A and B are shown apart, each in its own frame.
Chain A
Amino acid sequence: MAAIKINNENSIDSMLTNSSSISYQVGKFQGTSTAFNYFITQLVGTRFLKTGHVLICDNTTIHLTEENKNLAEVLWKKKKLGTESTSLFPRVKSD
């Protein structure tokens, strides 16, 4: 998993060589929704992803289904969730 911030970099190369613009995670289960969910959690926890940022990702299955089904909604409410719950992405209980 990897995330790249544009910041004020002028070129792609300078952006890629700047460690503050890149966050990545190498693990065993990289192609799963759980891993992506955990990675987003890490980004928020390390303040790499802050309030006001725009998260852009492609529309693959692991980004949109299972544990990431409500990812967009959760990120919109990140500030509230951070104060209300210890977990960033609590599971939604079905009635």
Chain B
Amino acid sequence: MSNYVKRNSQGKYYTAGKKYSAETYASIFKVAVNYKQSTGAYPLPSHLSEMTSVSFKVAKKVILFVSGQSENLHKPSGHGYSGKGSMKLSMMDQFFLLGLYHTDPSRPLYSYCTELYEFSGTEVSTTTLCKWFRSSFNYKGTCRKPSIFPAQKFSQENIRKLEEYVNIVSYFDHRRFVFTDEKPMKGTDIYNKKFDVLPWMALYRLLTQVLIYATRTTLWQL
């Protein structure tokens, strides 16, 4: 997203998504330090905001930094590594977490935190571990809707059977065909509102599409 100029509550223009320059911060520091020298205390964020025409958040960050309550003026945010302990997980820690998972997959997240802290002294939050379990492997750790057709749909065996089936049905008039199958009504079939009219109809549409298409194609070629 391209940066664009915005106006804060004090009437000062700034570029969205871009931090203030070092000179701007230096001038704000100077105002805050001078205020302390004259009054004996740092100004309130709202007061500093009015004096320097920066936003309340920037003034608060500056005061925390100048007074020594905060080490960093800018914290990394947005995409990438963020949060408590996100950069701390070494390869050994990750193997240890996987071992814990295989030992007892149903253990809670805070159990991983305590076990890892006892193992290597690495302190991480449950949120970090949740993100790690979800995104550190080849497959996403979130819920997915599986495909109706399995992966072996186009296997050699299935293709051979399809060819055999087409060879057989090509001798018959396609108007004589009657396709039957059972469809047990379970959970999502009954309660899923995505289906149009009848739950099995969508399934049959897919099942018969392949068979009928193959049959008709063969018959028209004869």
Determine whether B175 belongs to the interface, using a CB cutoff of 8 Å to chain A. Answer: yes
Contacts of A62 in B (CB 8 A): 182
Contacts of B208 in A (CB 8 A): 4, 12
Bound-state CA distance A61–B6 (Å) is 69
Closest to B211 in A: A56
Complex contact B178–A30 (CB within 8 A): no
Is B201 a contact partner of A53 (Cβ separation < 8 A)?
no
Chain B residues near A4 (CB, 8 Å)? 178-180, 204, 208
From B178, B200, B211, A55 is in contact (CB under 8 Å) with: B178
Interface size on A, residues (CB 8 A): 30
Cα-based distance from A12 to B211 in the complex (angstroms): 11
Contact call A30/B182, Cβ cutoff below 8 A: yes
Which residues from 70 to 94 on chain A have a C-beta closer than 8 Å to any C-beta of chain B? none
Given A12-B205, A31-B184; A2-B177 close (CB under 8 Å): no
Residues of B within 8 A of A40 (CB): 180
One of A3, A6, A16, A52 near B174 (C-beta < 8 A): A6
Question: With A12-B209, A24-B200, A54-B169 given, is the CB distance from A2 to B174 under 8 Å?
Answer: no
Contacts from A to B (Cβ < 8 Å): 1-8, 12, 16, 24, 26, 30-31, 35-36, 39-40, 43, 48-49, 52-58, 60, 62
